[in-house]
Structure 1
Protein backbone atom coordinates (compact mmCIF):
# COMPACT_ATOMS: atom_id res chain seq x y z
CA UNK A 1 0.00 0.00 0.00
CA UNK A 2 1.27 3.45 -0.93
CA UNK A 3 2.06 5.59 2.12
CA UNK A 4 1.19 8.73 0.13
CA UNK A 5 -2.49 8.65 1.06
CA UNK A 6 -1.66 9.70 4.62
CA UNK A 7 0.94 12.33 3.75
CA UNK A 8 0.59 16.09 4.10
CA UNK A 9 2.31 16.63 0.72
CA UNK A 10 0.16 14.30 -1.44
CA UNK A 11 -1.46 17.08 -3.52
CA UNK A 12 1.83 18.71 -4.55
CA UNK A 13 4.20 15.72 -4.63
CA UNK A 14 6.07 14.89 -7.84
CA UNK A 15 6.58 11.27 -6.81
CA UNK A 16 2.88 10.75 -6.07
CA UNK A 17 1.96 12.28 -9.42
CA UNK A 18 4.37 9.85 -11.13
CA UNK A 19 2.86 6.84 -9.32
CA UNK A 20 -0.66 8.07 -10.10
CA UNK A 21 0.21 8.27 -13.81
CA UNK A 22 1.60 4.73 -13.68
CA UNK A 23 -1.79 3.60 -12.42
CA UNK A 24 -3.30 5.30 -15.49
CA UNK A 25 -5.11 7.89 -13.41
CA UNK A 26 -4.37 10.77 -15.75
CA UNK A 27 -6.42 13.42 -14.06
CA UNK A 28 -5.55 16.77 -15.58
CA UNK A 29 -4.05 18.40 -12.53
CA UNK A 30 -2.81 21.96 -12.80
CA UNK A 31 -0.17 21.92 -10.06
CA UNK A 32 2.02 25.01 -10.04
CA UNK A 33 4.40 24.47 -7.12
CA UNK A 34 5.62 20.90 -7.01
CA UNK A 35 7.08 19.34 -3.89
CA UNK A 36 10.10 17.10 -4.52
CA UNK A 37 10.40 14.50 -1.75
CA UNK A 38 13.72 13.19 -0.46
CA UNK A 39 14.95 9.59 -0.37
CA UNK A 40 11.97 7.75 -1.79
CA UNK A 41 11.70 4.03 -2.40
CA UNK A 42 9.15 2.92 -4.98
CA UNK A 43 8.19 -0.75 -5.10
CA UNK A 44 6.81 -2.22 -8.32
CA UNK A 45 4.98 -5.53 -8.03
CA UNK A 46 4.41 -7.60 -11.14
CA UNK A 47 1.03 -9.34 -11.03
CA UNK A 48 -0.52 -11.86 -13.37
CA UNK A 49 -4.27 -12.20 -13.61
CA UNK A 50 -5.60 -14.71 -16.11
CA UNK A 51 -3.45 -13.99 -19.18
CA UNK A 52 -2.71 -10.36 -18.37
CA UNK A 53 0.28 -8.93 -16.58
CA UNK A 54 -0.01 -5.63 -14.76
CA UNK A 55 2.26 -3.54 -12.56
CA UNK A 56 1.32 -2.23 -9.13
CA UNK A 57 3.31 0.86 -8.10
CA UNK A 58 3.63 1.80 -4.42
CA UNK A 59 5.74 4.24 -2.47
CA UNK A 60 7.16 2.29 0.45
CA UNK A 61 9.50 4.82 2.04
CA UNK A 62 9.92 8.59 1.91
CA UNK A 63 12.05 10.80 4.15
CA UNK A 64 9.72 13.74 3.48
CA UNK A 65 6.63 11.92 4.74
CA UNK A 66 4.57 14.03 7.17
CA UNK A 67 1.57 12.17 8.52
CA UNK A 68 -1.82 13.75 7.94
CA UNK A 69 -4.42 10.94 7.78
CA UNK A 70 -7.21 11.44 5.27
CA UNK A 71 -5.50 14.35 3.48
CA UNK A 72 -6.03 12.64 0.12
CA UNK A 73 -9.83 12.97 0.58
CA UNK A 74 -9.71 16.77 0.31
CA UNK A 75 -9.57 16.92 -3.50
Structure 2
Protein backbone atom coordinates (compact mmCIF):
# COMPACT_ATOMS: atom_id res chain seq x y z
CA UNK A 1 0.00 0.00 0.00
CA UNK A 2 1.23 3.46 -0.88
CA UNK A 3 2.07 5.51 2.23
CA UNK A 4 0.93 8.67 0.44
CA UNK A 5 -2.72 8.30 1.44
CA UNK A 6 -2.07 9.59 4.97
CA UNK A 7 0.55 12.19 4.05
CA UNK A 8 0.08 15.93 4.39
CA UNK A 9 1.58 16.43 0.92
CA UNK A 10 -0.66 13.97 -0.97
CA UNK A 11 -2.48 16.68 -2.98
CA UNK A 12 0.58 18.42 -4.43
CA UNK A 13 3.36 15.80 -4.34
CA UNK A 14 5.01 15.16 -7.71
CA UNK A 15 5.91 11.57 -6.77
CA UNK A 16 2.33 10.73 -5.79
CA UNK A 17 1.04 12.18 -9.06
CA UNK A 18 3.62 10.10 -10.96
CA UNK A 19 2.27 6.99 -9.23
CA UNK A 20 -1.31 8.01 -10.07
CA UNK A 21 -0.29 8.44 -13.70
CA UNK A 22 1.32 5.00 -13.77
CA UNK A 23 -1.93 3.52 -12.42
CA UNK A 24 -3.81 5.31 -15.23
CA UNK A 25 -5.73 7.25 -12.59
CA UNK A 26 -7.90 9.64 -14.61
CA UNK A 27 -10.27 11.47 -12.29
CA UNK A 28 -7.78 14.10 -11.07
CA UNK A 29 -7.05 16.23 -14.15
CA UNK A 30 -6.60 19.54 -12.34
CA UNK A 31 -3.28 21.32 -12.62
CA UNK A 32 -1.27 21.56 -9.42
CA UNK A 33 -0.34 25.16 -8.65
CA UNK A 34 2.28 24.41 -5.97
CA UNK A 35 4.41 21.34 -6.50
CA UNK A 36 6.03 19.55 -3.60
CA UNK A 37 9.17 17.54 -4.36
CA UNK A 38 9.77 14.94 -1.64
CA UNK A 39 13.18 13.84 -0.40
CA UNK A 40 14.58 10.33 -0.81
CA UNK A 41 11.58 8.35 -1.92
CA UNK A 42 11.56 4.60 -2.46
CA UNK A 43 9.07 3.27 -4.99
CA UNK A 44 8.28 -0.44 -5.17
CA UNK A 45 7.05 -1.76 -8.53
CA UNK A 46 5.42 -5.18 -8.53
CA UNK A 47 5.07 -7.02 -11.82
CA UNK A 48 1.93 -9.15 -12.13
CA UNK A 49 0.95 -11.54 -14.89
CA UNK A 50 -2.80 -11.94 -15.40
CA UNK A 51 -4.28 -13.71 -18.43
CA UNK A 52 -1.04 -13.40 -20.43
CA UNK A 53 -0.89 -9.66 -19.74
CA UNK A 54 1.64 -7.79 -17.65
CA UNK A 55 0.48 -5.30 -15.01
CA UNK A 56 2.63 -3.02 -12.88
CA UNK A 57 1.62 -2.03 -9.36
CA UNK A 58 3.41 1.11 -8.13
CA UNK A 59 3.63 1.88 -4.41
CA UNK A 60 5.61 4.47 -2.49
CA UNK A 61 7.23 2.59 0.39
CA UNK A 62 9.50 5.20 2.00
CA UNK A 63 9.74 8.98 1.92
CA UNK A 64 11.76 11.25 4.19
CA UNK A 65 9.23 14.04 3.61
CA UNK A 66 6.29 11.98 4.92
CA UNK A 67 4.18 13.89 7.46
CA UNK A 68 1.31 11.78 8.76
CA UNK A 69 -2.14 13.30 8.79
CA UNK A 70 -4.65 10.42 8.70
CA UNK A 71 -7.44 10.97 6.19
CA UNK A 72 -5.73 13.84 4.34
CA UNK A 73 -6.54 12.12 1.01
CA UNK A 74 -10.30 12.41 1.60
CA UNK A 75 -10.64 15.96 0.24
Q: TM-score, normalised by structure 2?
A: 0.94
**What residue in structure 1 maps to residue 4 of structure 2?**
4
Shift of 1:10: 0.1
**What residue in structure 1 maps to residue 71 of structure 2?**
70
SS in 2 for 1:72: coil
- How many residues are aligned here? 74
Matches for 1:1-75 after TM superposition, within 5 Å: 1-26=1-26, 27-74=28-75
CA distance in structure 2 between the partners assigned to 1:49 and 1:10 by the alignment? 30
Offset from partner CA, 1:24-56 (integer Å, 9 cap, x none): 013312111100000000010000112111000
Greater share of helix: 1
Moved over 4 A (4+): none
CA distance in structure 2 between the partners assigned to 1:19 and 1:6 by the alignment? 15
Please tell me the root mean square deviation across aligned C-alpha atoms, in Å.
0.8
* Unmatched segments (≥5 aa) in structure 1: none
